[in-house]
Structures are given as C-alpha cells and as structure tokens.
Amino acid sequence: MSLEERELNELKSKIGRDPTSTELQIVAAEWSEHCSYKSSKKHLKMLPMDGPLVINEKGYDSGVLDVGDGYVITAHIESHNHPSAVEPYGGAATGVGGVIRDILSAGTRPIAIFDGLRFGNIEKDLQARWLFKNAVTGIADYGNCLGIPTIGGEVEFDECYENYAMVDVAALGFGKKENLIKNHVEKDDIVVLMGGSTGRDGIGGSQFASDSLESEDRSAVQIPDPFIEKLIIEAVLQARNDGLIHAMKDLGGGGLSCAVSETADAMEIGIEMDVDKVHTRESDMNPDEIMVSESQERMLVVTSETKFEKLQEICNKFRIGCSVIGHVKFDNNVHIKKGENTIANLPADFVANATLLDLPSKEPTYLKTIQTEKKFDLISDYSNVMTKLLASPNIASKIWVYSQYDHEVGIRTVVKPGTDASVLRLDNGKYLSAKIDGNPKQCYINPREGAIGCFEEACRNVVCTGARPIGMLDHLQFGNPNDPEIFWTFLESLKGLTDFAKSFEIPCVGGKVSLYNETPKGSIKPTPVIGVIGLIDKKPSVPQKISKDDCLLIIGDTKDELGGSEYFEYVHKFIGGKCPAVDFEDSKKHMESVLDIIDKNLIKSAHDCSKGGLAIAVSEICMTNQIGCNISLDKVPGEKLDVDRVLFSESHSRYLISFDKKNFSQIEDILNANKVSFKQIGQFGGEQIQFTKDSKLTIDLNLKKTHEIWLHALTNLVLHGKKFSDNNG
C-alpha cells in the first residue's frame, strides 16, 4: 500500500523536500497500477483510437461515438475483480455504479449494462457458487434500482479462477451531441463535490486492486447505494440540461485524490481544495482518509459561483449532498488544505502521470509444454456427449442470470438477452447492437489468436443482428505484470487485438487494464474481454421465427481447431490442441456477406458458431425456435475431419443461416459472388434434433427433453446443488 523506493525518490527530487503524509497517500493512489496504467500505458497506444464516428474530448471517462442526427452514444468498460472476490455482492454492485458514472460524466444518460462474470468450477467448488450467486444479485439489485436495463453479458467457469472472481461491467449511454459536457473551465470557477457522503469504505481500494489478493481486506471494498446513484443521475442530467456543468468527473479508484489531480491535469489548471468542506459520513475522519476514500456515488463538478445556486437547488430537490470544496487556480498545482493549513501541494501533471514502465517480457515456458494434438476414441452415438455439453455450466442457458436483471426498462430493448447480441432502439430511428466476449481457455493456449478470437466472436454476434461494428471496448485482464511470462501474454493479446482492429477499421473507444489477478494457485489465464458496438440503420429484420421446412446453411470452413474447446476441456479434461485462428480475409468476406443477406431481407436468422461448436449452435437455434432439425455432417465444408471434430470444433468466422428455401438461389448468388465457402446442411422440422453422417444418425435427441435440460441445468446447480452429470452418467 505504499510507493516503491524508486517512486518515493522521484517524488522527493521533484518537490525538493520530504512529502507530507497526505501527499504520500495521494501519490500512492494515483500511481497505483489501477489508476496510472504504468505497466501497460506505453503499449496501449498501439490500438487505433480514431475513426470517422469517434468524438474525442479531453477528460472523458468514456468513449463517444456519433450515431447521426445530432445524437451520440457513449461506451465504457470496467472490472471490479478484487473487491468481488472478497465481497461479491458489494464488489459487483459498485462495479456497475462506477461504470455508470463514467457514462454520466460525459453528460449522457446510461441506457444499457452488460456484465461478464467468471468464477471457478461451480460444479465442485462451493465457494465459486457462492461468489457467482452473490455477484449476480449485486448486479441485479444495483442495475434494477437504477432503471438501467442489463441486456447482455456472459458467464464462464474455469478452474483458473478458483477463490477468485472476475466481474466486468460495460455500459452504454445515449444523448444529444449538443448536450455533451465540454469540459472547459473559466477563471474563478468553483469545485463542487456532489452526491453521497465520504466515509471510510474503500480506503486504499486502488492499491488493493493493484496487488495480488493476499488478505481479505474488506474495508477496501466500497459499499453500494443504488438509490443515491439514481438520484445523482437525475440531478446531473437536469444540471446538464440547465447548462450548469463546466467540467465533471466521477469519483472512482483513488477517490478525491485521483478525481482532483486528473481533472486538474486534463484541464491544465490548478485546484485548491479544503478537506474540511467535504461532507463526510463520520466526524473523525482524518484528511488522508478523506482524500483516498472510495465511497461510491460521488461526482466532482466544476461550475461557476453564479450557477452554483441553481445546482444546489437541484441537489436539494433530490436531497443529495453538494459541497463547494475548492476552486480553480491557474498554477497547475493540486493544493490540498485543511482549514488554513496546507497538507499537500503538488504539480497536477506530475501526480496524474506516473512514470511509465517498460517491463520485460518473455515467451512463457508453459506454452511449449502444451500438447498440440490428442485423438479421442470415436463412438457411434454422440447424443449423450451433446446432452452433457448442453447441461455444462458454460453452455447451459443463462436464464437464471438474465431473468434477475430488468432488461426491459427504458423501453429500448428490441432483441432481448438469451440470443446473440442484444439490440436497442435509439431515438433517431437507428438501432444499436452490442456484445461482450471473452475466451480464456483459448487465450491460455494462444494469447494472440485467443484474443483475436474474442474480438471476432463479438463482431460475429453483432453482425448476426444485421449491425455493422463501429467501435470496440477492450478489457485486458492478466496476472502480475512483473512476471515477464505474464507480461508477454499481455503484449501478445494486445498486438493481436491491434492487428484486428486496424484491419477491420474498428476503433477502440474505451478500455481498461486489470493486472495482478492472482489466485492462491497462481495467475489467472489471460482474460481479455472484448465489447463490440454495432449500428443498424433500419429496424432489424432478424431474428424471425423459424418454421417447418426452412433450411439451414453454414458459412465458413470447419477446421481441426479444438484447442480450448468445451469438448476437449469439459468432456475430455484435456487442455491443449490447436487454438482456433481467424483468417482476416475470410472473416471480412463472411461479415460483409451476412450483412448483405440480412439487409436484403433474405433470411430468418443468423447465429454464430462459438462455444461447443456447430452441434451446440444448431441445438440453440432449435431450442430457441422450438423446432427440430436434420443436419448432414457430410456436407459441412472444410477439412476432412473425424466426426467429433466436425461436431465440436470451435473454428471462427462461421455463421449458421436459417432461411425460407425460396430464397436459396438469391442467397447462393450473393455468397458465390463474394467467394464465400458455404453449404446448405439441413432442414428444420419435426421434434428431434438430428445429425447424420454417412446416412447414419450420429446424434438423435428429443427437442423438448433437451430444451428442458439446457434451460434448467444451471439453475438446478446454483439453487439446488444438482449437477446434471451426477444423475446422468
């Protein structure tokens, strides 16, 4: 929880004296990995951040994209892993709160929440089950109370997260371009702290998040209050409408220390503030505690003396605190006082910009020991294997999770959770599609290809709704960066993401790096999570209900790529094999083709192949539409593979297209013109999900029974501890 010796010396030589205890606290918070990105920042610059729709303004905590007609969307992603591992309810809830305030600070109304959750093996590990249950409740209680729909996300379980929790939250905002906060200050402006009171919760939270999790330091976890957050949202938006906000920043990691120094640095101003003016929850808090408390639901607002009266009226209406804590100066210093006494006085740019590190990296030795090939005995009937996969926690329906989230409030949700990407309607007649995806199993086997795969998967999901990707959010989560092998995996993932983003011209509009994710058994697997935002110009024509005699075709080759697949890992307990790799040219062709056939209204639905491969993806279509199918595995395009590999390979860039057969020739023409590898592989109808090979049934499952198993497996496990495979071999 303190500065390294090198950093302490740097601080001393800069200011030419011994720092005060408050200065030490401020600098330690701001120079923590969590706030300063000191290990990663040098490299993050490689990501493309500009694009035709990107609006860049100084001091924004979220990315801004122009969606036309005078409207913008904002987007941001954060994680709250360390706090959630200790106190999952509060950790996950405050994770939502933090990212929502980032959206708010640009002056936009938050309109959607996404959450990515990862825990240990919940089939065996009771603590993982407890963490999962409480994190979900934390997100539900917070997001539901705010009236912001949680419309998407992902849940994954892997033994590498034993005794740990990964809670990623992304949020989208929407507003008028003219209402964006411009972040400008004027002479004599004052600095106001709005919202909840400052208490002793979350003290040192940012440093806590920048260390390996060794102690269960519960005081470092913040306490959530969604009711106050809701009042702040309404108060801030009203103040925005009335033009009362010159600049704004939310209080997150590092509390006041970071908010004040980062605002001063971004605006190139100085700020003088008095800790005695901060409204506190407890009377005997010392100045250092006040400066680094991470109490939630607080916003720092810069406004003028004359506008303050109106701002205070708004705060009084919503009965939230509003204190003038300081004023703007033009000396570029952060000057903290307690009454008349100076307790800290430091140059803002120095505090806000820690010296960046150039950490060494080295290819991990574990990668060389991973077995790249293993054959498993083939069997004649894969029905049981498929049922087992459908009931596995990673593939089973997540209805237990998303039915606890209000995903309808705000009346924008056109495509609801439970399918690929969710779709929201916007006020200008356009539609927004978004999805977040991660795949640590593949990233472990190949950090570069795995990360690219997450990116492409999120794009595929968005494309399946007919939306063109316009922006990306990246959340890079790794272990201790001081381990060169771990840092190598970070760099590889980042380079992969950069190559994909540049090639597809999808700008990175926001992101976060979370390091030091270590469990008692060692580092987590590399866990980049990628969010992709897409835009549709007209009302989406997919998905439509599939009916009898509709046909199914697959776009893209199925390859011998089962590394990190659910089939290898869940069924055969084998970590290894060849990681799926994205061919950029094929990927582009496929995306364009799918967008084209959706735009021409030729298909009923598009679904991507991901976890569990072709077999699971087809079953999902059948279950969602309550209709059986008959699929010929002989027709699946790609390499000649064993039957289990055709069924469960997780090759990327594949789409399953369902359509009325009368449209086939038109679809065929488009796909042929684009030189896309595709094949019609089956038809819908009946009450069985059937796969045949050499005219023999390889899989034959009753739709209704299978649907019941898939739908309830996770709920049964979480609520009743009933593991599907216990009763069913």
Partner 1 sequence: MKVGVVVFPGSNCDRDMYHVLTDVFHLDAEFFWHEKGLPENIDAVILPGGFSYGDRLRAGAIASHSPIIKDVKKMAEKGIPVLGVCNGFQILVESGLLPGVLLKNDSLNFMCEWINLIVENNQTPFTNQFKLDEKIPIPIANGEGRYYVDDETMDKLKKKNQIVFRYSEVVNGSSNRIAGVCNEDGNVVGMMPHPERAVESDINPIDNKPSSLIFESLLTKMGVSK
Catalytic residues: 34, 80
Burial 212-224 (b: 16+ CB within 10 A, else e): ebeeebeebbbbb
The Cα 571–Cα 580 span in angstroms is 18
Helices (H), 550-663: 566, 584-599, 613-625, 643-648
- Enumerate binding residues for partner 1 (CB under 8 A): 140-141, 144-147, 225-227, 230-231, 317-319, 402-414, 416, 425, 539
Place of tokens 């006082």: 337
Nearer to partner 1, 403 or 688 (CB): 403
Query: What does each C-alpha distance from 132 to 89, 122, 127, 466, 644 come to in angstroms?
Result: 9, 8, 8, 32, 32
Please state the closest distance from residue 237 (CB atom) to partner 1, in A: 11
> Cβ neighbours of residue 583 under 8 Å, at least 6 residues apart?
653
- Nearest CB to partner 1, comparing residues 304 and 403: 403
Of 404 and 677, the one with the shorter C-beta distance to partner 1 is 404
Q: Give which of 127, 137, 289 is closest to 219, Cα–Cα.
A: 289
Between 314 and 359, name the residue whose CB sits nearer to partner 1.
314
For partner 1, which is the closer residue by CB, 298 or 407? 407
Smallest separation, CB 403 to partner 1 (Å): 6
Q: How far is the CB of 225 from partner 1 (least distance, A)?
A: 7
Euclidean distance between CA atoms 82 and 62, whole angstroms: 22
Strand arrangement, sheet containing 422-425: 413-415, 422-425, 431-438, 529-536, 468-477, 508-514
- Minimum Å gap between C-beta 405 and partner 1 is 6
Cis peptide bond N-terminal to 364, omega within 30: no
Residue 227 or 330 with smaller CB distance to partner 1: 227
> Residue length, the chain?
729
Our CB check for partner 1 shows the closer of 187 and 317 to be: 317
Provide the residue type at 184 as one letter.
H
Distance separating alpha carbons of residues 607 and 602, to the nearest angstrom: 15
Helix extents (H) in 541-642: 566, 584-599, 613-625
d(CA 421, CA 54): 22
For the bound state, the minimum distance from the C-beta of residue 119 to partner 1, rounded and expressed in Å, comes to 19
CB of 407 to partner 1, least distance (A): 6
Nearer of residues 418 and 637 to partner 1, judged by Cβ: 418
Rounded-to-integer distance, Cα 308 and Cα 322, Å: 10
Closest contact distance (angstroms) between CB of 230 and partner 1 is: 6
Residues 6+ apart with CB under 8 A from 726: none
Among residues 252, 271, 250, which one has the least CA distance to residue 185?
A: 271
Closest distance to partner 1 from the beta carbon of 391 (Å): 21
Q: From the CB of 690, what's the least distance to partner 1, in Å?
A: 28
Task: Compare residues 413 and 517 and give the one whose CB is closer to partner 1.
Answer: 413
Nearest to partner 1 of 144, 649 (CB atom): 144
User: What is the separation of C-alpha 679 from the centre of its chain, rounded to a whole number of angstroms?
Assistant: 34
- Residue 415 structure tokens: 């495509």
Residue found under tokens 């065929």: 668
Give least dist CB 74 to partner 1, A: 18
The total of other beta-carbon atoms located within 10 Å of residue 333's CB is 21
Local structure of residue 198 (DSSP, 8 states): B
What are the b/e assignments for 71-108, b being 16+ CB within 10 Å? bbbbbbbbbbbbbbbbbbbbbbbbbbbbbbbbbbbbbb
* 323, containing H or E segment: strand 321-329
